[in-house]
Structure 1
Amino acid sequence: MRRAQTLRTWLEYLRQTERLATIEKQVSLQYELAAVTKKLDGVKAAFFKQVEDYSIPVVSGICSTREQFAEAMETDPYDVIRRFTEAVASPLPCKQVGNDEALVKENIIREDIDLMRLLPIPVHHEKDAGNYLTAALFIVRDPVTRKQNVSIHRLQVTGKNRLGALLLPRHTYHLYKQAESAGRALECAIVIGVDPLTLLASQASTPFGVDELEIAGALRGEPLEVVRCETVDIDVPAFAEIVLEGKILPHVREPEGPFGEFPKYYGPRSDKEVVEIMAITHRHQPIFYTIVPAGYEHLLLGGIPREASLLQSIKQTVPGVKAVHMSLGGTCRYHAIVSILKRNEGEGKNAILAALANSFDIKHVVVVDEDVDIFNMEEVEWAIATRFQAERDLVVVHGAQGSKLDPSTDEGVGSKLGFDCTIPLDSEPMRYLRIKIPQYDGINLEDYL
């Protein structure tokens, strides 16, 4: 069995490799759970056995380093983007199983749905409007093509069986608006507690009509097993921990937010779409999974799929592109570092323009030669310091669409910058020759100390 076959097999792998912290002390849903998780960010996953008076444990931080996502794929960190790109290009159809094989069907609740009574849903940040689902796959189906769409949305508990949902203008929103214009609700399934690869697949940048669960199957190297929901026409991972079945109500909007988002600022309060939950299914002794917003897990989950998309976009313009990195300091959204093998003058600037065109979120782009380690920010800063001159190497674009969650923009409109830190092809050889100490790589300090 693969180490990331299910959430439970992955947690066992983390436990065996001493990267799962088990917290026996009772913790509060309000801030304390998020605070402890944040203290462990990038070091260990946090498994809370006693959350207030709930019988359900909570886990967070299950993949908070690039290396852990590589381990889930059973490859090395430098191969992650290639593997992800291949999975997006060659999705693997899911395998349908019956209720008797699907552990998520071990318990079925159809009556008296009370989300906060049943589930330990946390409050993460000081000014958050309430309890939020932050790590749930949100699955809807196109009634025409029968293809599903999978994404993750912030979901605020606003009533016993109601959630306020932030739906950005992408695939789920498109299907919802189609249904709403016909006066219909859009059925949905909200899936809590899946393996890291299925989570990662949900964030893939794909054309409309691609089922991200099939990308998850390609990442795993075998079809993802799915089962049909009880009350809605949606297929969900058969070994998920918890599934909420519901519908997005037509012509209903209710206040949602504020909520602490990935830029480490709050998304504002406004009227949003509303989900009504009609049924819950779950495994015996289910595990609730949450992501602390703006933590490493949150940032990397969005950053790695964006890197795959960015690499393909730049390659169409600059075939010599070697690698890309959406940095943590740029929230894995706003800053892109690009490595290229430059064969022609001007390719550095072309790479900048291609990167900016890939996503409106991208705000600053740094392009370097392939001798610079783009995952080492000290190296990147060194390249800016010693290979960049603003007069010839700076690209500035004003009045461009950016992220509305970036508080420095004017309602999402702002400026973009590109730094071409590539060496001029006609430079004198010694001018940019990096210093090197012979024998350095072969030195073992234990032989000397």
Structure 2
Amino acid sequence: MNTRDAASHGTFHLAWSRPSGALTLRDWLAHLARTGRVATIDRPVALEHELAAIARRLDGTQAAFFTQPGGHDVPVVSGFMSRRAWIAEAMGVAEADLLARFRDAAGQPLASQEIPRAEAACQQVVHTSGIDLHALLPIPTHSEHDNGPYLTAGLVIARNPRTGVQNVSINRIQVHGPDRMAILLLPRHLHAFQKTAEEAGEALDVAIAIGVDPLTMLASQAISPIDSDELEIAGALHGAPLPVVRCVSHGVNVPAFAEIVIEGRILPNVREPEGPFGEFPKYYSAREAREVIEVTAVTHREKPIFHTIVPAEMEHLLLGAIPREASLLAHLQRSHPGVKDVHLSVGGVCRYHLWVQFDKKREGEAKNVILCAFGAHYDIKQVVVVDTDVDVHDPAEIEWAVATRFQADRDLVVIEGAQGSPLDPSTTVGQPEDAPPHLQGVSAKMGLDATRPVVYASHVFTRVRIPGQDTVDLDALVAADNTAFDAYLDGAHG
């Protein structure tokens, strides 16, 4: 272990207009604490289930900060991104402008700024030998049937072996031993990098950055082309290049002000069992042979904070939802300018059910929007298209539109045998437990055109409204107490 003097390494600030001014996790947490949104659990808490249970109860109301997790000196935080409004606040925009801001950043990335190691907070303490992840870090076991402790909030960063361009993703990682982990690789960019390296008989260098600011976390989930570095999208969200530093054991660049970085390599032609694990659909994924990471170094701040995401709760769901919504909105608007807003519903685990607000001008357009949405991301299983008078962020509004504007024999679109999410348990029905990858995730898709006709007779599809219902000033009209009411009743009984 090598510890160097950190006296000169205070919090690094860039000049941007966010309410928290936060380029680091601890800046953001300080802002939340000042506004009553951090709950400190200042007593010993078990890493197996108890920590996750407490964080789940606080989900969406306060971030949970555990000072004594499992006997460790390193505290654990969870839930600091568990509301849309908080994420918009971190961006410095109104909640209604959240998707547009993310879309703009994804379209105009800023190259990262590599800084010297002496200035990188994430390398204040360096471990390169005798590594024991269980001793160094408070890694929780979350759900009842999880097969051990998992990293759930680490940004996995790797370089394309062909081009050298980095990719960032969040993958579930089961910690098997002191310096060995199994990682789930879905058929996306990191998996492509690993396959390229493996075909050449080489390991793939990776870094896992734990404890970054909310905008860098969000950027990691951008739906972008294979040679797009999500750290550059993080820079665009911050309004300035993101400071990065080169790892101590290989050439991957990581956020310089992360709390903790685990460095390693994905071994070629090595697989070990991983799972079961409680995933975002609120079901367990199966135990299967997965790729293996061999840890080569661990670096961290002098007093680091460990971040864990409780699976299937709002922090997990929103991290996936907002970048997907921004990408879906941009994709749909390219072909259908009448699309005004989109929403991945919480009931659809912020992945499978998409609600689209659309200004329909011609009959049949809504079905085209449905088909376009299915082609935009394979996770999408159900699409509901509604008119501009329907709030796509309100489940009751969507249900009302389906109840009054949809007829199944006329407005239903069903597509059989399409690629869906391999983590959707309903796609496994009728498949053997050991189904090969090319048979996993085969799904039917359903679209509902819940728009009213472009032309309709009289007021048959006119929504009932009372003039003034949205503008009446209740604060000015409603009495502060019931004195007048009580006086009337007293008089009536006199």
What's the TM-score bracket when you normalise by the shorter of the two chains? Answer: over 0.9
- Pick from 312, 321, 327 the counterpart of residue 294 of structure 1: 312
Q: Does 1:215 align with 2:233?
A: yes
Deviation at 1:428, TM superposition (A): 1.8
Counterpart for residue 445 of structure 2: 416
SS in 1 for 2:426: coil
Matches within 5 A, 1:148-167: 148-167=166-185
Q: Does 1:443 align with 2:461?
A: no
Deviation at 1:364, TM superposition (A): 0.8
- Pick from 120, 130, 133 the counterpart of residue 151 of structure 2: 133
Matches within 5 A, 1:61-76: 61-76=79-94
1:33 counterpart letter in structure 2: L
Deviation at 1:111, TM superposition (A): 1.0
Counterpart for residue 255 of structure 1: 273
Matches within 5 A, 1:172-321: 172-321=190-339
- Pick from 19, 30, 33 the counterpart of residue 37 of structure 2: 19
Of 128-137 and 438-447, more deviation after overlay is shown by 438-447
- Pick from 410, 430, 436 the counterpart of residue 459 of structure 2: 430
Q: How far apart, in 2, do the equivalents of 1:377 and 1:94 lie?
A: 40
Counterpart for residue 390 of structure 2: 372
Q: How far apart, in 1, do the equivalents of 2:418 and 2:200 lie?
A: 35
2:315 counterpart letter in structure 1: E
Q: How far apart, in 1, do the equivalents of 2:158 and 2:111 lie?
A: 17
Q: How far apart, in 2, do the equivalents of 1:136 and 1:116 lie?
A: 16
Q: Is the 8 A contact 1:317 1:350 kept in 2?
A: no
Of 418-427 and 435-444, more deviation after overlay is shown by 435-444
- Pick from 79, 83, 105 the counterpart of residue 123 of structure 2: 105
Matches within 5 A, 1:388-403: 388-403=406-421
2:355 counterpart letter in structure 1: I
2:225 counterpart letter in structure 1: P
Q: Does 1:362 align with 2:392?
A: no
Counterpart for residue 434 of structure 2: none
Counterpart for residue 347 of structure 2: 329
- Pick from 44, 47, 52 the counterpart of residue 65 of structure 2: 47
2:58 counterpart letter in structure 1: L
Q: Which runs of 5+ in 1 are unaligned?
A: none
Instruction: State the superposition RMSD in angstroms.
Output: 1.1
Counterpart for residue 347 of structure 1: 365
2:106 counterpart letter in structure 1: V
Q: Does 1:33 align with 2:51?
A: yes
1:422 counterpart letter in structure 2: T
1:369 counterpart letter in structure 2: D
Going from structure 1 to structure 2, the CA distance change for 1:72 and 1:126 (only over 3 Å counts) comes to same
Q: Which runs of 5+ in 2 are unaligned?
A: 1-12, 429-439, 480-494
Q: Is the 8 A contact 2:264 2:296 kept in 1?
A: yes
Deviation at 1:426, TM superposition (A): 1.5
SS in 2 for 1:425: coil
Q: How far apart, in 2, do the equivalents of 1:379 and 1:246 lie?
A: 48
Point out 4+ residue stretches in structure 1 off by more than 4 angstroms. none
Deviations 1:194-241 (A, max 9, x none): 001101111111111000000000011100000111001111111000
SS in 2 for 1:409: helix
2:360 counterpart letter in structure 1: K
Deviations 1:343-369 (A, max 9, x none): 111111111111111111111110001
Q: How far apart, in 2, do the equivalents of 1:42 and 1:390 lie?
A: 36
TM-score (norm. length: structure 2): 0.89
Deviation at 1:441, TM superposition (A): 2.5
Q: How far apart, in 1, do the equivalents of 2:136 and 2:364 lie?
A: 59
Q: How far apart, in 1, do the equivalents of 2:206 and 2:332 lie?
A: 35
1:448 counterpart letter in structure 2: V
Deviation at 1:282, TM superposition (A): 0.4
SS in 2 for 1:49: strand
SS in 2 for 1:408: helix
Q: How far apart, in 2, do the equivalents of 1:231 and 1:263 lie?
A: 36
| Greater Cα radius of gyration, structure 1 or 2 | 2
2:28 counterpart letter in structure 1: W
Q: How far apart, in 1, do the equivalents of 2:190 and 2:355 lie?
A: 30
Deviation at 1:159, TM superposition (A): 1.1
Q: How far apart, in 2, do the equivalents of 1:147 and 1:317 lie?
A: 30
Of 413-422 and 274-283, more deviation after overlay is shown by 413-422
2:278 counterpart letter in structure 1: G
Deviation at 1:429, TM superposition (A): 4.2
1:197 counterpart letter in structure 2: L
SS in 2 for 1:22: strand
Percent of aligned pairs sharing the same letter: 56
2:457 counterpart letter in structure 1: E
Q: How far apart, in 1, do the equivalents of 2:373 and 2:199 lie?
A: 35
Q: How far apart, in 1, do the equivalents of 2:441 and 2:190 lie?
A: 21
Q: How far apart, in 2, do the equivalents of 1:278 and 1:313 lie?
A: 40
Q: Is the 8 A contact 2:161 2:196 kept in 1?
A: no
